Structure 1
Amino acid sequence: MFGSKDFYRSVWRWHFFAGLYVTPFLIMLSITGLMMLFAPIVERMQHSDLYYVDQVTDTPLSYEQQYQLVADQYPTDQIQRVYVSDSATDATRFQVKMDDDTRSVFVDPYQGEVLGDLTVSHSLYAWADDTHGTFMIGLTGDWLIEIAISFTILLILTGVYMWWPSKGQSKWRAATTVRGKGRSMWRNLHSVTGVWIAVILLFFSISGLSWASVWGGKLVQAWSTFPTEQSAKNVSSTLTHNDLNPEGVKQIPWNLEQSPLPESSAFGDHTITLDRVVNDAKDMGFTRFQVHFPRGEQGVFTATASTMGRDINNALDDRTVHLDRYSGSVIADVGFMDYNWFAKSMAFGIALHMGQFGVWNLVACTVFCLAVILMCVSGVVMWWKRRPSNAVDLSAPPMPKNLKRWQHAVWLLLPISLLMPMATIGMAVIVLVDVLVLLSIPKLRSKWA
Structure 2
Amino acid sequence: MGSRYRMIWRWHFYAGLFCLPFIVWLATTGMIYLFKPQVQPWLERDYAHVAHGAPQAPFVQIAAALAAVPGGVLNAYELPVTPDQATRVLIGKGPRVIRVFVDPSTATVLHVVDENDRFMQIVFYLHGELMAGTPGSMLVELAASWTIVMLLTGLYLWWPRGGRLRGVLIPRLASGSRIFWRDIHAVTGVWISVMALTLLLSGLPWAKSWGGMLKEGRQLYAQTTITQDWTIGSAAERKTNRAANTPVMDEHAHMAGMGASSSTAMVDPDAYSPVNVLAPKVAALGWPAPVLISPPSALNPHWSARSDTQNRPRRIEARLDPLTGAVVSQVRFADRPFLDRLIGYGVAMHEGQLFAPLNQILGVITALGLLTMSVSSVVLWWRRRPVGVLGAPPARRDTRAGGVLVALIVLLAVFLPLFGVTLLLVLLLERFVVRRWERGRHFLGLSGT
Note the aligned Cα RMSD (angstroms).
3.7
Which residues in structure 2 correspond to 1:44-83 (within 5 Å)? 44-55=41-52, 57=53, 59-83=54-78
For residues 299 and 192 of structure 2, what CA distance do their matches in structure 1 show? 51
The count of aligned residue pairs is 422
Residue in 2 that maps onto 1:294: 296
For residues 249 and 298 of structure 1, what CA distance do their matches in structure 2 show? 16
* CA offset digits 1:103-150 (Å, max 9, x no partner): 321122234422223342122222221121222222222221111111
For residues 319 and 239 of structure 2, what CA distance do their matches in structure 1 show? 13
**Match among 164, 184, 204 for residue 189 of structure 1:** 184
Residue in 1 that maps onto 2:30: 33
SS of 1:210 mapped into structure 2: helix
CA contact 2:279–2:293 (8 Å) conserved in 1: yes
Residue in 2 that maps onto 1:447: 443
For residues 323 and 46 of structure 1, what CA distance do their matches in structure 2 show? 34
Residue 14 of structure 2 corresponds to residue 20 of structure 1:
no
Q: Which runs of 5+ in 2 are unaligned?
A: 259-272
CA contact 1:11–1:409 (8 Å) conserved in 2: no
For residues 82 and 101 of structure 2, what CA distance do their matches in structure 1 show? 15
Provide closer, same or farther for how the CA distance between residues 448 and 408 of structure 1 changes in structure 2, counting only shifts above 3 A: farther
Shift of 1:190: 1.0
SS of 1:117 mapped into structure 2: strand
For residues 78 and 187 of structure 1, what CA distance do their matches in structure 2 show? 58
For residues 291 and 22 of structure 1, what CA distance do their matches in structure 2 show? 42
* CA offset digits 1:344-393 (Å, max 9, x no partner): 132223232222343333232222222211211221221122111x32x4
Q: Which amino acid aligns with 1:376?
A: S
Which residues in structure 2 correspond to 1:19-418 (within 5 Å)? 19-39=16-36, 41-55=38-52, 57=53, 59-97=54-92, 102-170=97-165, 174-179=168-173, 180-219=175-214, 222-223=217-218, 264-265=250-251, 268-270=254-256, 271=258, 273-282=274-283, 286-288=287-289, 289-295=291-297, 299-307=301-309, 310=310, 313=311, 315-323=312-320, 333-356=330-353, 357-388=355-386, 390-391=387-388, 393-405=389-401, 409-418=405-414
CA contact 1:7–1:409 (8 Å) conserved in 2: no
SS of 2:169 mapped into structure 1: helix
Provide closer, same or farther for how the CA distance between residues 409 and 91 of structure 1 changes in structure 2, counting only shifts above 3 A: same
CA contact 2:206–2:230 (8 Å) conserved in 1: no
Q: Percent identity?
A: 27
SS of 1:168 mapped into structure 2: coil
CA contact 1:85–1:287 (8 Å) conserved in 2: no
TM-score by length of 1: 0.81
For residues 39 and 251 of structure 1, what CA distance do their matches in structure 2 show? 21
Shift of 1:302: 2.6
Q: Which amino acid aligns with 2:154?
A: G
Q: Which amino acid aligns with 2:428?
A: L
Bigger shift: 276-285 or 124-133? 276-285
TM-score by length of 2: 0.81
For residues 209 and 186 of structure 2, what CA distance do their matches in structure 1 show? 31
For residues 268 and 330 of structure 1, what CA distance do their matches in structure 2 show? 20
For residues 287 and 238 of structure 2, what CA distance do their matches in structure 1 show? 16
